[in-house]
Amino acid sequence: MTQIHRLLPPTVTKAVIFLHGVGANGQDLLGLSSFLQPELPQTVAYIAPDGFDSYDMLPVGMMAESYQWFSLKDRSPQALSDALDRAVVRFQVLFEDIRTDLGIAYSDIAFVGFSQGTMLAIRAALQLPSPVAGVVGFSGAFLPPSLVHSHPPFCLIHGRQDEVIPSQATEKAAQDLRQQGCLVDHFIDEGLGHSIDERGIQRMTKHISQWFKPISA
């Protein structure tokens, strides 16, 4: 059963769900909450599930609690798309459990993904029956689904020197998502590899703060 790491206030009105990269775990990405907490309302919950399966390409000496949302053993486009489809179905069940437990709406929830977690966050957000508040995606890529049901806003961030996923993947994702009718801000940061730096954290905080602002009458 998927372990879910949580930081819950006494009263919850909003939530940020973190989706980690391959080979990591939810606790690893939950640390980003420390940058959001001073800027967001105290009623925001921070949720970080572990990936659905143990990492199946674990190198010797890597931490034991390493997970993946889907396997990367076969990286052909069709195999990746099929694996991502299966992960989205599983995530939708997990997401509904989390949302129902918190008692909040789709529009009260933002996703923050890194690498493989970004791939899942983007695809899942497009296929939910109602749009979430928004999606921040670090160092990821976009594999378009066959059907799109929702059009949330996106903030995509990538390092120009990323040695794992080329920054062109985010440029292409931004283009494709705009063609789907989504509002997208994307940033390519010079001197950054496959990582998150202060610039990205500032953008994440700014966008989620804007998405969580009450709509003026």
Q: Catalytic: 115?
A: yes
Q: Please name which of 181, 106, 110, 186 lies closest in space to residue 141, comparing C-alpha atoms.
A: 186
Q: Pick the catalytic residue: 194, 195, 197, 209?
A: 194
Q: Catalytic: 176?
A: no
Angle between helices 77-102 and 116-127 (to 10 degrees): 70
What are all long-range contacts of 65-73, with beta carbons under 8 Å and residues at least 24 apart?
A: 65/25, 65/27, 66/23, 66/24, 66/25, 67/20, 67/23, 67/24, 67/25, 68/22, 68/23, 68/116, 69/19, 69/22, 69/116, 69/117, 69/119, 69/120, 70/116, 70/120, 72/22, 72/116
Q: Pick the catalytic residue: 158, 162, 167, 189?
A: 162
Q: Pick the catalytic residue: 33, 66, 115, 167?
A: 115
Find out whether 98 and 15 touch, Cβ atoms under 8 Å: yes
Q: Which residues are catalytic?
A: 115, 162, 194
